[in-house]
């Protein structure tokens, strides 16, 4: 007999992935906003922003549709670590941006932890 309880794992996975897709779309519509976040040592400018948006959308779709979830979450966690190291930490030293940068750093750290947990849960079974 099938349980009538909602599958919280599926709901959680989709709710985790959905904001990444929306943020990825925003990378295409708000290039100027995201350009202001780039530090001087991140190359590529607009291309980097559009490429990052594509990667966020790809990760979101992969996680939502349960295709290559482990790989997507591991790569997503690496990308979040890069954001932390190259965007949020340098902004901590700017008095005008420090408070927002700290909140963004905490958010991306939590999302990175969530991505690593999902990657662990969806690891392929070892034979």
Q: What is the rounded distance in angstroms from the CA atom of residue 38 to the CA atom of residue 90?
A: 10
Q: Pick from 13, 87, 23, 19: which is nearest to 54 by CA?
A: 23
Residues 6+ apart with CB under 8 A from 38: 45, 48, 49, 87
Q: What is the rounded distance in angstroms from the CA atom of residue 62 to the CA atom of residue 24?
A: 13
CA dihedral 8, 13, 19, 21 (to 10 degrees): -140
What's the mean pLDDT in 108-122? Answer: 96
The whole domain housing 58 covers 8-121
Structure token digits, residue 85: 């190291």
**Residue 1 maps to a domain:** no
**Residue 2 maps to a domain:** no
Stated as kind and residue range, the H or E segment containing 23 is helix 8-29
**Residue 127 maps to a domain:** no
**Residue 61 maps to a domain:** yes
**Residue 97 maps to a domain:** yes
For 15-55, write each residue's pLDDT tens digit.
Answer: 999 999 999 999 999 888 777 766 666 777 778 889 999 99
**Residue 95 maps to a domain:** yes
pLDDT-derived band at 5 (thresholds 50, 70, 90) equals: low
Residues 6+ apart with CB under 8 A from 58: 24, 72
**Residue 70 maps to a domain:** yes
Q: What is the rounded distance in angstroms from the CA atom of residue 61 to the CA atom of residue 100?
A: 28
**Residue 3 maps to a domain:** no
For 59-101, write each residue's pLDDT tens digit.
Answer: 999 999 999 999 999 999 999 999 999 889 999 999 999 999 9
Number of compact structural domains in the chain: 1
């Amino acid at each position: 007999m099938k349980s009538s309880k909602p599958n919280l794992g599926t709901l959680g996975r989709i709710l985790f992935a959905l904001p990444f897709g929306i943020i990825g779309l925003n990378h295409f519509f708000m290039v100027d906003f995201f350009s202001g976040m780039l530090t001087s040592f991140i190359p590529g400018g607009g291309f980097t922003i559009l490429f990052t948006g594509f990667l966020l959308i790809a990760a979101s779709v992969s996680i939502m549709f349960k295709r290559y979830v482990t790989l997507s979450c591991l790569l997503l966690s690496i990308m979040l670590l890069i954001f932390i190291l190259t965007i949020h930490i340098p902004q901590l030293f700017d008095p005008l941006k420090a408070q927002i940068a700290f909140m963004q750093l905490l958010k991306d750290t939590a999302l990175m932890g969530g991505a690593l947990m999902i990657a662990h849960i969806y690891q392929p079974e070892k034979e």
